[in-house]
Every structure is written in C-alpha cells, then in structure tokens.
C-alpha cells in the first residue's frame, strides 16, 4: 500500500538506501568475469565437437550457467542499478539481451510490473507464473481445469514452457500496442541482431554445429532460470492478498524467499537468491545484496529455502485463501474436490 502523503518513511527505506549506489569497478569486473569465460567456453564447445558430443553437452551446461549470470547483469541494468548512468544501463542491457534472447526494453517493462504487483491477487498475469485461488479453480469449466493443470505440470513449467518462451515467444511483439514503440523496437532489434549472429557464426562453423552447441545450452539455462524465479515466490507460506489488503513491504519480505544456495551457484545466479531484498529495493546492485542481508538482522527474518527444500514447491499449485498457503493437488482433492464453488 502507498504511504499517505506526509507520513514518515518506513525504517527500511533508509536502511536499504546505503546499498543502492553502484560501484563501477565491481560492475565492470562482473562483465569481464562473466562474458570472457562465456565466450571461452563456446570456443571449447566448438573444438569438443571433433571428439565427443557428451563433452559438448557438459560444456553447454557450463556455458548456460555463465549465461544465467549474464542475464542477472541484464536484469540489474533493467532496474537501472548496475551503473549510475541510465544510458550505460540501457546500452549494456540491450547488448546482453541479444545473448540471452530477451528483448531488453520489452522485458524491462513487464518485469517492472511484476515488481509493482508481486503478491497482489488483483494484478496477476504480467511477468509472473500463473497462479489461481482454490475458488477460482473450482469455478473453472472442465477444459479450464485441464488447461491449468497442463500449464502447472513440471515438464511444461520448467522444461518445455521456458524454452518456448525464450526461443519463440520473445521473438513476437505480442500484447504490445503501437504506443509501446520502444518495447516493440527492442523485440525487432533483438531479432535482427540474432539473425545476423546466426548467419555469421553459422557460416563460419556450420549451422548444424551451431545448433548442436546453442540449443542444449538454451534449453538448460531457460529451465534453470525459470525454476530459480519460480521457487523464490511459489513456496507454501508465501504472500498473496487482494489489493485492498496488499502491502508492498510485506509482499517483498514475505512473498519472496531467501534462497540459500551453495556458494558456486550463488555466484552463477548473481546473488538473486537474496530475493526478498531485491524485491524490497530493486535499486540494490546484485553484488550488494549479500552484504545488505547479513548486515541487517531484520532482513534475515524471512522464509529461507535450500536447494533440497525448494523441490517441494514443484508440487504446490493453488492459493488457499482460508489458510493463506499454496496447496498441492492432493490437498485440494482431500479438502475441496466435492465442494461447490462459492460463486
């Protein structure tokens, strides 16, 4: 909820402010230690094709991890937090968007709406994983229920869907009106650059070789990226409220988790596991999130999930307004299947 005019700012506003100043040395070093290894792994992938394709696939996983880190840098640029200069954030973000197959300006607009409305039941469906309430599900016709169950199936949600989204749907300016000129142009520009890269690189190393290297990398990184985003919002006691009860800080600290990852995965994911702090203040560069978390005990009283415990989230599908929890299909069947819809 917005603060009333003239009311004092919440204490957290001043606390996070000290972490929102970008450090250009750290930003440039992140670009170097992400992009240089990424392209080096691509060279190794090409030469590995002469020996054993299993080596190529293993290297594709490594390249995908570096690409995930590159996406986090693009993500910071979209929040205008990676550099002090908006111009540099936009230029770097646009370039990285070609590597990640993500039109920078179009994605930035959708993602901003996700941050503005995360956890708000009245404003779902933009930049989010579709989630409906028990009552909404009960009110669906048969084929509506089938569609929702199909969409929430792990194979669709974490493998097929992400690949389709990044490889195909990001190529289409769907849902953008002609008023969204910058967003539409970012889709067209990204597509043009991708076509140019594909033609140039394909003509140098062979189009079949290019696909054998690029496709497994994209399937892997899109799946991991969507899973990472999913589990940080879709845990059992997450936060969802109708707009009249919704609160921004509550949604950030209770609707976003602290995903405590092994150090190597924390590095590759650009500290995005400190997701509660990122939602509280998207202006914090990724390299300041860990420090902000551990220097402030008040930010540590949030939902903590681990790699192992995160798998439980895969089986949660409906928001139960009675218990304020996400529930599984099994729990729905036990409690609600034979109940009529309240509507």
Q: What are phi and psi of 132, to 5 degrees?
A: -120, 165
Q: What are phi and psi of 90, to 5 degrees?
A: -70, -40
| Position 300 pLDDT exceeds 70 | yes
**CA separation for the pair 273, 276 (Å, rounded):** 8
Position 91 confidence tier, pLDDT thresholds 50, 70, 90:
very high
Share of the chain above pLDDT 70, in %: 94
Position 2 confidence tier, pLDDT thresholds 50, 70, 90:
very low
Contact 305, 258 (CB under 8 A): yes
C-alpha to C-alpha distances, 50 to 46, 55, 207, nearest whole angstrom: 8, 10, 15
Give, for 133, the enclosing helix (H) or strand (E).
strand 132-133
Q: For 261-293, write each residue's pLDDT tens digit.
A: 999 999 999 999 999 999 999 999 999 999 999
* 241 DSSP 8-state letter: B
Segment 128-132 mean pLDDT: 89
| Position 112 pLDDT exceeds 50 | yes
Position 14 confidence tier, pLDDT thresholds 50, 70, 90:
confident
Contact 310, 230 (CB under 8 A): no
Q: Which residue has the tokens 């974490």?
A: 158
* Structure-block tokens of residue 231: 């589990």
Q: Which residue has the higher pLDDT, 310 or 180?
A: 310
């Amino acid at each position: 909820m917005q603060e009333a005019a003239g009311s004092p700012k919440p204490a957290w506003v001043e606390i996070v402010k000290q972490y929102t100043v970008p450090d250009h040395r750290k930003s440039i070093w992140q670009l170097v230690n992400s992009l240089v290894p990424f392209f080096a792994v691509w060279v190794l992938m090409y030469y590995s094709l002469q020996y054993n394709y299993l080596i190529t696939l293993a290297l594709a996983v490594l390249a995908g991890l570096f690409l995930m880190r590159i996406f986090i840098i693009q993500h910071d640029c979209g929040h205008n937090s990676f550099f002090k200069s908006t111009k540099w954030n936009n230029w770097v973000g646009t370039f990285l968007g070609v590597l990640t197959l993500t039109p920078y300006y179009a994605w930035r607009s959708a993602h901003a709406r996700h941050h503005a409305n995360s956890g708000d039941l009245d404003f779902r469906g933009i930049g989010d994983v579709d989630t409906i309430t028990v009552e909404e599900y009960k009110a669906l016709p048969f084929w509506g229920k089938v569609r929702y169950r199909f969409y929430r199936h792990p194979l669709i949600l974490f493998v097929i869907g992400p690949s389709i989204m990044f490889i195909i749907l990001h190529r289409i300016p769907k849902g953008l009106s002609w008023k969204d000129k910058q967003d539409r142009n970012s889709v067209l520009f990204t597509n043009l650059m991708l076509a140019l890269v594909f033609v140039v690189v394909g003509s140098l190393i062979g189009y079949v070789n290019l696909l054998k290297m690029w496709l497994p990398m994209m399937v892997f990184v899109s799946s991991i990226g969507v899973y990472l985003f999913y589990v940080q919002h879709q845990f059992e006691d997450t936060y969802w409220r109708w707009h009249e009860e919704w609160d921004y800080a509550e949604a950030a600290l209770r609707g976003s988790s602290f995903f405590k990852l092994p150090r190597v995965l924390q590095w590759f994911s650009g500290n995005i596991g400190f997701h509660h702090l990122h939602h509280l203040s998207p202006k914090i560069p990724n390299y300041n999130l860990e420090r902000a978390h551990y220097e402030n005990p008040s930010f540590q009283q949030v939902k903590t999930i681990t790699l192992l415990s995160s798998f439980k989230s895969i089986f949660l599908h409906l928001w139960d307004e009675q218990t304020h929890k996400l529930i599984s299909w099994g729990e729905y069947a036990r409690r609600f299947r034979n109940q009529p819809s309240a509507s």
